[in-house]
Chain A
């Protein structure tokens, strides 16, 4: 870990001004940034602590949704009565991730901004285009069991690690940000980006912009949803494949579907075309399989992760089945249902 200056932000404006310097890092829960600093992956010259800023409320919006302050801890969010009742998919996804201790510390905004858990990104003794642009991607021909099958580039096959973000993508949340040039809203699907030829850039945030809130639209799909996370052990592991599925149904037919995947791409992977295929179809394994095939149409595996394509296909079918039946996956059961 390098030596760094510590600044406690007194205002959002002050934090945003400081964050415009690329050598400055914003810290909230610190559950990821501190690890990265200990590994010398991140070496900020200054760390700006925003935890005293008033971004800790969950408030009703005029539209009938909820606005979640960027500093709301993951645990508080997951157990908030309004979230549990109206957006149980989000609550479930949060509880599928990390551990209680980490969720207690981790913030809403920080969850969006966590970095990939690619082994190579974390190990400064190895090349990595995301960590040091232009050095190469050893994962492509190396240990790539946990890597992406969708939206990859020759420069990077890392995945986004968040569970919460997969639910937020499915729920079509909006990210509110404030920067040196004012505030703006970013649709969740536009917040994270694919690696392309600039894998060092994870999001579409501009220099100095800080996430202030995440807004949920009114529709929470509380009746028919699931977050199904498949991994190499049943707890405290990142997803090989996870599926956030949500349905509105009438008389055994799907009216509206939401489908987003985690563990498969550089960003939470929501496929609106696959969702559209389900609209008007019977809530049946056949329709689900067709949507899964469509979502995975361009999937490409590597030596150790090709299985993810078939796993994702089956996981989508299972998840949509759970959602349709109104029997969401429990995150405390010691089994997958």
Chain B
């Protein structure tokens, strides 16, 4: 762009920040409507079986109760499984709320109690009695491991493991250095602050406006119209503000279905909000049993990589992640064998949770690499550099950019890697053992087809619009920055409209693709507006810009100016007047380049370093310092970018040390279903987190050179901490979280 960039690359505060901190920002559950009714979801108590009867008389007798919806009296909905498939659904038959008497998991919704107010609905819900026919269940992945299978249908966007290359088993046997280990992490729940909620506003004549907690308004909109057979024009979904989601809001959840069902049936507005306990009954990072076997020659060169994973899924959907492919991709090795299978348990379908698959698989690989470094008597960084690869080893394609070497260098310098003793349990400070660890992080840099519209008015105000979401990442702000720099505007002159299903098509916000995708779309739309506006300016009678090309002009101060001669300019207003228009509007779409994809792959990379202190007697771990050195292409806004990495780092810390959803296998039920007993890190557990972005120029990954940051902060963090704990204590913990009992 010829115009100077003032906002892109600058640390701008969130433009939606004031609305959020003053409470002006309304989240899904905070919208209201005249005559709004309230629905309370009643959750099932057993893991598997059938509902024999629902005794609703007592609930219905409570004054103010409008209706109790169950599978026996629900509105007719689509009966084809296919109609319930949302944009993110894995293969299988999606869960259909209140569809029939079958119970698939503990906590499944079995009724919706609707009343004039929340309190009445909650009270009536407590009076509902349900009689079950209990069937045998199995919720233990270990027990189901024997029945693991390769999913017959691959999940869209999730590559299955590549075919083996070389002979990993033979090479393992022949190589002099080996490591082999089983790795697992606890089931984790996303726990965004905002609960899942839907406020459905009955607009009359079958028209609905829905405020939904979702990572993509158009996903919910398509789901509703498909399930209830509604016309697309009759359903508008908005998700103006999302209080965190981390993947839990990619798919529409049952509160949306139930709220829409009740609104259609009762022809009135309704709100349904799930409780924290209910949020613990579905959508979780699946338990995954992993085995990693590495072999190397005496120089540390990898001779064999095998990585096998068995992941839990529900009985009704084949939820899949890319867990093992990283092990064939990240390092150079000629003999690689990777397997990924599923085993079914009686829970709800797992869900994408921040860097799904990579968080799981890279944690195992990067601990194994630490083990191998010790076996090879090499520094862990040196081992990774020894096996560094400039191409995706699975596909044999080059990276559009990969500044991982610089991440290692900068990260090592910042953490003070030279202070690390290569001998475990050899550094102490008072009662604490000191340890350092590191790991590599990796996440695919996606560009997803996204449309955006830009509208410039004569007063120099710009509106940019796309159906993208802002789940707390800073989308509003970066789109304003891109728009502002397109026309030399202040941020305050740009209004950003997103989070509305009626806006230009955008995918769910996930996969770290939104900044690159919606940002590129907005920039393309702005560029189209600039060209149209310049056309109008050139058409002005005796135009000072008569022969100016788009590359020769700048847009700033409400004018189009000849770059080499600032005296020659046309104001935006005059240009529009000349064109006989009162605004200039354009829509544009950004999409991945097929040509680039033939030759290149794009990934973000990170080197994560951790320094821990472990109380030798009590086993308490403090991660006193985490350094995350990230190569993610162009950084649009260092402030919001840093926040993404900080958040990912804290989540990785939680995975390493704290987070664990505990399943009672006798009851088939998650038991610690609240924020008091499911331990996300508290401020007291979070120490210094140092985020650094290394320079990385990438003109192929996306039109604006951006890679995305939502996931990379978590990948590798847990491994870095676990490796530091090993360095401190000499105890290799391969089963997360590293709670104090594992170190006693």
- Give chain A's interface residues, CB within 8 Å of chain B: 1-3, 39-40, 43, 117, 119-120, 122-123, 125-126, 138, 141-143, 145-146, 230, 232-238, 240, 307, 310-311, 314-315, 317-318, 334-337
CB-contact partner of B664 in A1, A143, A146, A311, under 8 A? A143
When chains A and B are docked, how far (Å) is the Cα of A335 from the Cα of B618? 12
Closest CB pairs A-B (n = 9): A125-B45, A307-B741, A235-B684, A234-B684, A119-B671, A235-B682, A142-B664, A143-B662, A233-B679
CB-contact partner of A311 in B123, B681, B744, under 8 A? B744
- Can you give 18 A-B contacts (C-beta < 8 A)? A1-B126, A2-B123, A2-B126, A119-B672, A119-B673, A123-B277, A233-B681, A233-B684, A234-B684, A235-B682, A235-B683, A235-B685, A237-B676, A310-B744, A311-B619, A311-B741, A334-B687, A335-B613
The reply to whether B679 and A232 form a contact with Cβ atoms under 8 Å apart is yes
The reply to whether A1 and B122 form a contact with Cβ atoms under 8 Å apart is yes
Is B384 part of the contact surface with A, judged by Cβ < 8 Å?
A: no
Say whether chain A's binding surface is mostly helix, strand, loop, or mixed.
Answer: loop
CB-contact partner of A125 in B657, B669, B679, B744, under 8 A? B669
The reply to whether B662 and A145 form a contact with Cβ atoms under 8 Å apart is yes
CB-contact partner of A138 in B657, B664, B684, B687, under 8 A? B664
Q: For chain B residues 716-744, which have a beta carbon within 8 Å of chain A?
A: 739-741, 744
The reply to whether B687 and A143 form a contact with Cβ atoms under 8 Å apart is no
When chains A and B are docked, how far (Å) is the Cα of A122 from the Cα of B744? 30
The reply to whether A142 and B617 form a contact with Cβ atoms under 8 Å apart is no
Q: A119-B662, A123-B673 are in contact. List 18 more A-B contacts (CB 8 A).
A: A1-B122, A40-B126, A119-B664, A122-B674, A123-B671, A125-B44, A125-B106, A138-B667, A145-B662, A235-B682, A235-B685, A237-B682, A307-B740, A311-B618, A311-B619, A315-B618, A334-B687, A335-B613
Which residues from chain A contact B740 at a C-beta distance below 8 Å?
230, 232, 240, 307, 311
The closest CB in chain A to the CB of B127 belongs to A2
Residue with the greatest number of chain B CB neighbours at <10 A, chosen from A117, A143, A307: A143
Is B658 part of the contact surface with A, judged by Cβ < 8 Å?
A: yes
The reply to whether A238 and B685 form a contact with Cβ atoms under 8 Å apart is no
CB-contact partner of A234 in B126, B669, B674, B682, under 8 A? B682
Is B100 part of the contact surface with A, judged by Cβ < 8 Å?
A: no
CB-contact partner of B671 in A142, A233, A234, A317, under 8 A? A142
Is B35 part of the contact surface with A, judged by Cβ < 8 Å?
A: no
Measured CB to CB, the closest approach of chain B to A174, in angstroms, equals 30
Interface string of B610-628 (1 = CB under 8 A from A): 0001010111101000000
The reply to whether B687 and A1 form a contact with Cβ atoms under 8 Å apart is no
Measured CB to CB, the closest approach of chain A to B724, in angstroms, equals 16
When chains A and B are docked, how far (Å) is the Cα of A337 from the Cα of B432? 9
- Give chain B's interface residues, CB within 8 Å of chain A: 43-45, 106, 119, 122-123, 126, 277, 431, 613, 615, 617-620, 622, 657-658, 662-664, 666-667, 669, 671-674, 676-677, 679, 681-685, 687, 739-741, 744
Say whether chain B's binding surface is mostly helix, strand, loop, or mixed.
Answer: loop
The reply to whether A230 and B685 form a contact with Cβ atoms under 8 Å apart is no
The reply to whether A230 and B620 form a contact with Cβ atoms under 8 Å apart is yes
The reply to whether B667 and A334 form a contact with Cβ atoms under 8 Å apart is no
Measured CB to CB, the closest approach of chain B to A138, in angstroms, equals 6
The closest CB in chain B to the CB of A230 belongs to B618
The reply to whether A119 and B681 form a contact with Cβ atoms under 8 Å apart is no
Measured CB to CB, the closest approach of chain B to A299, in angstroms, equals 15
When chains A and B are docked, how far (Å) is the Cα of A209 from the Cα of B277? 34
Measured CB to CB, the closest approach of chain A to B418, in angstroms, equals 25
When chains A and B are docked, how far (Å) is the Cα of A237 from the Cα of B658? 11
The closest CB in chain A to the CB of B742 belongs to A307
Measured CB to CB, the closest approach of chain B to A196, in angstroms, equals 24
Measured CB to CB, the closest approach of chain B to A319, in angstroms, equals 11
CB-contact partner of B666 in A1, A122, A138, A335, under 8 A? A138
Which residues from chain A contact B119 at a C-beta distance below 8 Å?
1
The reply to whether B739 and A232 form a contact with Cβ atoms under 8 Å apart is yes
When chains A and B are docked, how far (Å) is the Cα of A317 from the Cα of B616? 13
CB-contact partner of A232 in B615, B658, B663, B673, under 8 A? B658
Which residues from chain B contact A307 at a C-beta distance below 8 Å?
740-741, 744
Which residues from chain A contact B673 at a C-beta distance below 8 Å?
119, 123
The closest CB in chain B to the CB of A236 belongs to B682
The reply to whether A1 and B123 form a contact with Cβ atoms under 8 Å apart is yes
The reply to whether B671 and A143 form a contact with Cβ atoms under 8 Å apart is yes
Would A336 and B126 be within 8 Å (CB), given that A235-B683, A307-B741, A310-B744 are in contact? no
When chains A and B are docked, how far (Å) is the Cα of A317 from the Cα of B672? 30
Measured CB to CB, the closest approach of chain A to B396, in angstroms, equals 45
Measured CB to CB, the closest approach of chain A to B348, in angstroms, equals 15
Measured CB to CB, the closest approach of chain A to B59, in angstroms, equals 12
Which residues from chain B contact A123 at a C-beta distance below 8 Å?
277, 669, 671, 673
When chains A and B are docked, how far (Å) is the Cα of A101 from the Cα of B669? 31
CB-contact partner of B684 in A125, A318, A334, under 8 A? A334
Measured CB to CB, the closest approach of chain B to A182, in angstroms, equals 37
The reply to whether A336 and B620 form a contact with Cβ atoms under 8 Å apart is yes
The reply to whether B676 and A236 form a contact with Cβ atoms under 8 Å apart is yes
The closest CB in chain B to the CB of A305 belongs to B741
When chains A and B are docked, how far (Å) is the Cα of A119 from the Cα of B677? 8
Measured CB to CB, the closest approach of chain A to B138, in angstroms, equals 16
The reply to whether A233 and B658 form a contact with Cβ atoms under 8 Å apart is yes
Would A318 and B618 be within 8 Å (CB), given that A1-B122, A234-B685 are in contact? yes
When chains A and B are docked, how far (Å) is the Cα of A141 from the Cα of B667? 11
Which residues from chain B contact A237 at a C-beta distance below 8 Å?
676, 679, 682
Would A126 and B682 be within 8 Å (CB), given that A143-B664, A336-B618 are in contact? no
Measured CB to CB, the closest approach of chain B to A296, in angstroms, equals 14
The reply to whether B669 and A126 form a contact with Cβ atoms under 8 Å apart is yes
When chains A and B are docked, how far (Å) is the Cα of A232 from the Cα of B277? 20
Measured CB to CB, the closest approach of chain A to B369, in angstroms, equals 28
CB-contact partner of B676 in A117, A142, A311, under 8 A? A117
Which residues from chain A contact B106 at a C-beta distance below 8 Å?
125
The reply to whether B667 and A146 form a contact with Cβ atoms under 8 Å apart is no
The closest CB in chain A to the CB of B45 belongs to A125
The reply to whether B685 and A142 form a contact with Cβ atoms under 8 Å apart is no
Measured CB to CB, the closest approach of chain A to B648, in angstroms, equals 18
